[in-house]
């Protein structure tokens, strides 16, 4: 009942936000709220559509929801900090700010879904070593995003203060850290996919 109430509140807030954003002609952000809401409530909405009732919220499900929301919150904080810095220095150039923000909203919903299925299906299947590797890769990817934004910021600050085109922070922010971030994310995805497939095949930890 509590989850159903939360879902109803989210739906009302989403509708109000849609009306405000549409009235201010922020079309991209308004449209992003719809898939974002569907992704955040995918489990409950699917159960309502298919079974006409809310899913059972037992201790295992509560653990999965808590873990998914915690990870999504961390991602939201890091991505917001990075986006603020990148938008401040006009890294996206002619791309509309509303389009960038809408992309972040949809991505947050996707991250939540992936996180929930990680705690629900993937984590019970993975070995301890794989879990540690996955956490290390995700942490590395998060740090890399921060370093990218920081490097671009420092590069622009040095140019603004000293009128100097330095190469260290430029190469670090444009080439090195994006490569590290991409490699970390690909490795994380590989481990996640292995665990997900293992959950369907009935494999478990050794």
Q: What is the pLDDT of residues 88-120, one digit of tens each?
A: 777 777 777 777 888 888 888 889 889 988 998
Share of the chain above pLDDT 70, in %: 83
- Annotate 24-39 with DSSP letters as a single string: TT-HHHHHHHHHHHHH
**Cα–Cα dist 15/77, whole Å:** 24
Name the burial class of residue 82, with classes exposed (0-12), middle (13-18) and buried (19+) by CB atoms within 10 angstroms of its CB. Answer: buried
> Roughly how many angstroms between the first and final C-alpha of the chain, as a whole number?
38
Could you tell me which residues come within 8 angstroms of residue 134 by beta carbon, excluding any fewer than 6 positions away?
Answer: 126, 188, 191, 192
Alpha helices in the chain (DSSP H): 2-23, 27-40, 42-51, 59-88, 97-117, 128-162, 168-171, 177-201
Hey, how many other C-beta atoms are within 10 angstroms of the C-beta on 88? 12
Output the pTM of the full model: 0.73
Q: Which of 82, 90, 105 is nearest to 26 (CA)?
A: 105
3-state secondary structure at position 122: helix
**Cα–Cα dist 45/111, whole Å:** 17
pLDDT mean over 70-80: 86
Q: Which of 5, 81, 76 is nearest to 36 (CA)?
A: 76
pLDDT at 178: 92
HSE-CB at 3 with a 13 A cutoff on CA atoms is 18
pLDDT at 206: 46
Q: Where are the domains of the chain?
A: 126-206
pLDDT mean over 66-72: 88
């Amino acid at each position: 009942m509590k989850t159903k109430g939360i879902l109803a509140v989210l739906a009302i807030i989403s509708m109000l936000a849609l009306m405000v954003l549409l009235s201010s002609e922020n079309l991209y952000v308004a449209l992003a709220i719809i898939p974002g809401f569907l992704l955040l409530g995918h489990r409950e909405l699917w159960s309502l559509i298919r079974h006409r009732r809310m899913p059972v919220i037992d201790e295992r499900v509560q653990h999965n929801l808590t873990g998914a929301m915690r990870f999504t919150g961390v991602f939201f904080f890091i991505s917001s900090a990075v986006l603020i810095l990148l938008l401040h220095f006009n890294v996206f150039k002619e791309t509309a700010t509303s389009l960038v923000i809408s992309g972040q909203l949809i991505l947050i919903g996707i991250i939540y879904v992936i996180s929930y299925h990680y705690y629900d299906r993937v984590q019970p299947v993975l070995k301890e070593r794989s879990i540690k590797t996955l956490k290390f890769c995700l942490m590395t990817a998060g740090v890399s995003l921060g370093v990218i934004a920081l490097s671009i910021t420092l590069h622009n600050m040095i140019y603004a203060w000293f009128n100097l085109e330095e190469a260290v922070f430029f190469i670090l922010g444009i080439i090195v850290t994006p490569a590290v971030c991409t490699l970390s994310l690909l490795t994380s995805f590989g481990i996640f996919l292995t665990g997900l497939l293992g959950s369907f095949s009935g494999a478990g930890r050794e």
